[in-house]
Amino acid sequence: MYFRLGELFCGPGGIACGAVNAKIDGHPDWGIVHGWANDFDKDTCETYRRNICPDNPDSVVCEDVHTLNIDELGGIDALAFGAPCNDFSVVGKQKGIHGKYGPLYSYGIKALNKYKPMWFMFENVSGIRSANDGDTFSMIMDEMKKAGYRIYPNLYKFEKYGIPQARHRMIIVGIREDQPYDFKIPSFKGYRIKTCKQAIEEPAIPDNVENNEITRQSPTVINRLKHIKPGQNAWTAELPTELELHVKKTKLSQIYRRLDPKKPAYTITGSGGGGTHVYHWKENRALTNRERARLQTFPDNYVFTGSKESVRKQIGMAVPVEGAEIIFEAILKTFAGIEYESVEPNWTASKKK
């Protein structure tokens, strides 16, 4: 069976790429195909069309979800949605349901009630558990249950699954109540930790690959990076007085932070000003977008559309392709009745500290 997948807040296609790549060895009759997708950003939608559905560009609806007519999108067997996480991130003010982005998950609930897909996948940052003292996450799960689904939440630490990035995401898989299947969290045992250096250098990035332009760094930034060792940032390095940053607000750990070549990368983000672009462990520069895409496990032939800053944002907001693929393969095996190694769920609704 092939499941037709619909996506809200689809981003550049990290989830979709993982979905269409998902397979069960020896069972070619099981898989996932693209149905429709929606996002509000023009460049993001063009990236998705180019890589996921070049022969069906109209299946990607580029429109603000507030004005999107969900009823006209078309029937689906599965739904993926991961509303913008800004209001749930512990880095921000964590306004949760009271913020601009917090309520957007409700459009996914509307799609569940409208199309009644056989299963769904919801993705967000780990901080969603503590937003509004944990009340928001409990409410979201209750609404999923009321829509008619058994839910299987888990905090996935993707570096444990061989993704070269310490990216922790709260993911809920839901299976429609009339389906006689129980999803199990796929085991991370058997996966080897992959370092950022391995991801970027093995194999070497081809010379003619797209989205690989090097950012020109100012002399000040270059001099600052010369004093920052692998794994250090602007606050932990011993910087000369003239190169120190004078910031009164929160001192974010990723500011001018170099990668540690012996470890997975720290979390790749899609926004932020100077100092947040992720910095090479040896060379005195920020990573190229292609290097960032490698840390998000996009294949080198996955081409991003837009300006360098637009592409940076798209990559940072995406779900790691291979991480999504692992979860989708577990879903396929669940419906195919094929056993696989699993682990106990790892998540708790937590209070904001």
Contact indicator for 79, 6 with CB cutoff of 8 Å: yes
Q: 342-343 and 2-8: which strand pairing?
A: unpaired
Q: Which helix (H) or strand (E) holds 248?
A: none
The CA distance from 38 to 90, in Å, is: 26
Kindly state the tokens that stand for 98.
């009271």
Q: Say which amino acid occupies 17.
A: C
Helix intervals (H) in 218-277: 219-226
Contact indicator for 19, 80 with CB cutoff of 8 Å: yes
- Cβ burial, residue 144 (10 Å; 0-12/13-18/19+): buried
Looking at the DSSP assignment, which residues form a beta bridge with residue 343?
185
Point out the catalytic residue in the list 10, 45, 53, 85: 85
- Distances from the Cα of 63 to the Cα of 76, 82, 103, 105, 109, angstroms: 19, 16, 17, 16, 18
Kindly state the tokens that stand for 305.
């559309």
The CA distance from 232 to 253, in Å, is: 9
The CA distance from 168 to 157, in Å, is: 5
Contact indicator for 286, 280 with CB cutoff of 8 Å: yes
Q: Which residue bears the tokens 């094929």?
A: 338
- Residue 78 contacts by C-beta under 8 Å, 6 or more apart in sequence? 3, 4, 5, 6, 32, 117, 118, 119, 120, 121
Q: Which helix (H) or strand (E) holds 47?
A: helix 42-52
Greatest Cα-to-Cα distance within the chain, rounded to the nearest angstrom: 65
Taking CA 25 as the corner, what is the angle to CA 24 and CA 26, rounded to the nearest 5 degrees? Answer: 110
For the question of residue 196 being annotated catalytic, the response is no
Supply the residues annotated as catalytic.
85
